[in-house]
Structure 1
Amino acid sequence: MAIFTIVAGARPNFMKIAPIIHALQKRILEGADLSYRLVHTGQHYDKKMSGDFFDQLNIPEPHANLGGGGGTQAEQTAAIMVAFERELVENRPNLVIVVGDVTSTLACSIAAKKLNIDVAHVEGGIRSGDLSMPEEINRMVTDSITDHFFTTSEIANANLRNLGVSDERIHFVGNTMIDTLLAQMPNFKKPEGEIFDQLIPQGYFVMTMHRPANVDQEHQLKAMIDAILEGSQGLPIIFPVHPRTAKNLQSLGISAPNLLMCEPLSYLEFNYLVQHAKGVITDSGGITEETSVMNVPCVTLRDNTERAETIQLGTNELVGTDPAKLKPYLEKIMANTWKQYQGIPLWDGNTATRIVSILEKIYCA
């Protein structure tokens, strides 16, 4: 029997692992000689948020929660490594599957390889080239010790080949986050609350902002919000606010009648808003993938991106962190002249099925 340990640590990981678990469950029911353990590292753990995700995405309760949250980057990495090593010694699998680029991805990959256990990296090979981002370091270190790469794009494939990774270890399968998006679209639901009742389709913006380059410097944050308010021409801007950002906004006294701040939303509620938005303003990576597939205009407030396919074939544009450069992009959205989604290869909802099929060939042969 082939045993796989699947690791999830932070909110974006849940969307990426859900379809893999569903595809594994399906094959197990069909008689495949497979088994898995789901390990939640506890890197980000909020009972309500995690509960929402497990319920909404139909993910079973984890077999183990390592409780590795809190502390500095180094403290968190160390706590997860120590706890995950213990998990692997007690429940040794044939393969550890890590996803994305969070601290848990790095920590669990290192712990597994030190015990001579194979590692598969789902979303391997993506790069921003920006070493000031912790996620980029996580990607680089994880990919340097990974055995099998499940990639989302030809760009990621090229990045790995440039590192000397052989073709038989690169498996171009698509994007499991898009599997979740396409499966859950019929279940999207409008959030409850007064601010959401006033919204009309294509009559508002959705904004997310959390990166230190945008939110930790008072002058930069105020200038960016002012530019967004000006460019939105009075349309409501729904802003689910990260606690750190909320604190900074409050201290700056930033407010406007159309800047509608709210608590972080569940997956189904947030994507309902994105699907019906005029446009999305973000400094996140994953949202650029979802907006592309939903054909919603997206501007990214970063100087680089690890998801270049969303610019080449999707609806994303890289604006940068200079507020002065934002205006023409928002004008284009307001004028309904934004580019359309061209279709990104293999982002078709069947990625997890392809992953499990490949794993069976490798570990059940």
Structure 2
Amino acid sequence: MYKITIIAGARPNFMKIAPIIHEIQTATSNGHAIDFRLVHTGQHYDKNMSGDFFEQLQIPEPHANLECSGGSQAVQTANIMMAFETELVANPADLVLVVGDVTSTMACALVAQKLNTKVAHVEGGIRSNDWTMPEEINRLVTDSITNYFFTTSETANNILKGNGVKENQIFFVGNTMIDTLLKQMPNFKAPEVWDELDLKEKEYIVMTLHRPANVDEEGQLKAMIDEIVANTTDLPLIFPVHPRTAQILESLQISHPRLHTVKPLSYLEFNYLVKHAKAVITDSGGITEEASIMNVPCLTLRDNTERPETITLGTNELVGTNPENIKPYLEKLFKGNWKVAQNIPLWDGKTAHRIVEAILKLS
């Protein structure tokens, strides 16, 4: 029996591993000697991750929860490493599969290699080249000790080859986040705010901001929101907001009749809002992927992106972090000049199948 330990540390990780779990279950039912153990490091505590969450994704609740939330980057990394070492010693695996770029990804890869266990990285090779982002450090460290890379783009493949990774270690498979998106699209449901504000198709804008550079700098946050409000005509702005950001907004006394802050939404509710929005304004990498597949204009308030294919082939534009950049992009949006999404290679809903096929060959 080939045993795989799958690591997830934050809610988006579960979106990425759900289709992989489904494919492993299919392979097992087809007679392949393969099994998995799902380990949640507990890195991000999220009250929305109840039993319903796992039911919606049609995956089992984790076999183990290491409960390593809180603390500084260093403290959290250390806690995850100590807890996962105990877990992996008690439940040895042939392969540890890590996804994305959270602290858990890096910490568990390190532990696995120290215990002579091979590591596979889903979303290997992506880079923002911004070392001020903790995620970029996690990517660099993880990829430097990974055995097998499951990549989302040719750009990622070329980055890995440039770093000396051998061709036979790289598997260009596509994007598992899109597998989940395409599977769950029929299940999207309107959140309460849809009826409360009597929202209409393509007549509102969704906003998300969470990066410290945008939300912790009070002057920056205020300038950005002021620019967005000033240049979005009469459309409602729906802003699902983290409690910490809500406190900052309150202390800055930022309010406007069209700016509606709502509590964080479930995956199915949030993507319902994005799918029907005129546009999304964000600083999240994952949302740029989903918006591109749903052909929704996306304005990214960052100076760099680790997902260039969302710009070259998708609906994403890199607006930057200077609030003055926002107006021309919104003018372009309201003139109806936004680009249309093109086909992004292998972002077709079959990525997890390709990953498990590759794992079966490796096993």
The TM-score bracket by the shorter chain reads over 0.9
In 1: Cα distance, 2:304 partner to 2:254 partner = 27
- Does the 8 Å contact 2:205/2:238 carry over to 1? yes
State how 1:196-215 maps to structure 2 within 5 Å: 196-215=196-215
Cα 1:201–1:63 shift into 2, 3 Å: same
- Does the 8 Å contact 2:311/2:318 carry over to 1? yes
1:252 maps to: 252
Shift of 1:52: 4.2
Q: Which amino acid aligns with 1:254?
A: I
Q: Which amino acid aligns with 2:360?
A: E
State how 1:112-127 maps to structure 2 within 5 Å: 112-127=112-127
Matched, 1:361 2:356: no
Cα 1:296–1:352 shift into 2, 3 Å: same
1:82 maps to: 82
Cα 1:223–1:76 shift into 2, 3 Å: same
- Does the 8 Å contact 1:190/1:196 carry over to 2? no
SS in 2 for 1:49: coil
Q: Which amino acid aligns with 1:313?
A: L
1:295 maps to: 295
Residues 314-343 of structure 1 show CA distances to partners (whole Å, capped at 9, x for unaligned) of 000000000101111111212222000011
In 2: Cα distance, 1:196 partner to 1:89 partner = 51
- Does the 8 Å contact 1:39/1:65 carry over to 2? yes
- Does the 8 Å contact 2:218/2:248 carry over to 1? yes
Shift of 1:50: 4.4
Please tell me the root mean square deviation across aligned C-alpha atoms, in Å. 1.0
SS in 2 for 1:295: coil
Shift of 1:57: 1.0
Structure 2: 5+ residue runs without aligned partners? none
In 1: Cα distance, 2:194 partner to 2:237 partner = 14
Q: Which amino acid aligns with 1:216?
A: D
In 1: Cα distance, 2:286 partner to 2:268 partner = 15
SS in 2 for 1:305: coil
Shift of 1:128: 0.1
In 2: Cα distance, 1:51 partner to 1:126 partner = 32
Matched, 1:270 2:270: yes
- Does the 8 Å contact 1:14/1:53 carry over to 2? no
2:181 maps to: 181
In 2: Cα distance, 1:207 partner to 1:269 partner = 14
Q: Which amino acid aligns with 2:19?
A: P
Shift of 1:247: 0.8
Shift of 1:238: 0.6
Bigger Cα displacement from structure 2, 40-49 vs 336-345? 40-49
1:240 maps to: 240
In 1: Cα distance, 2:229 partner to 2:192 partner = 24
- Does the 8 Å contact 1:311/1:318 carry over to 2? yes
Shift of 1:197: 4.5
Q: Which amino acid aligns with 1:305?
A: T
TM-score (norm 2): 0.98
In 1: Cα distance, 2:52 partner to 2:151 partner = 28
Bigger Cα displacement from structure 2, 325-334 vs 251-260? 325-334
Cα 1:23–1:138 shift into 2, 3 Å: same
Shift of 1:193: 4.0
SS in 1 for 2:238: strand
Cα 1:195–1:249 shift into 2, 3 Å: farther
- Does the 8 Å contact 1:52/1:266 carry over to 2? no
1:348 maps to: 348
**Size of the alignment, in residue pairs?**
363
Q: Which amino acid aligns with 1:202?
A: K
Q: Which amino acid aligns with 2:68?
A: G
SS in 2 for 1:199: coil
Q: Which amino acid aligns with 1:349?
A: G
Residues 259-284 of structure 1 show CA distances to partners (whole Å, capped at 9, x for unaligned) of 01000000000000000000000000
2:312 maps to: 312
1:328 maps to: 328
Cα 1:143–1:28 shift into 2, 3 Å: same
Bigger Cα displacement from structure 2, 333-342 vs 97-106? 333-342
- Does the 8 Å contact 2:4/2:94 carry over to 1? yes
Structure 1: 5+ residue runs without aligned partners? none
Shift of 1:49: 3.0
SS in 2 for 1:68: coil
TM-score (norm 1): 0.98
Shift of 1:56: 1.6
1:103 maps to: 103
Shift of 1:194: 6.6
- Does the 8 Å contact 2:51/2:61 carry over to 1? no
Shift of 1:51: 3.7
Shift of 1:148: 0.2
In 2: Cα distance, 1:321 partner to 1:59 partner = 38
Shift of 1:123: 0.2
SS in 1 for 2:206: strand
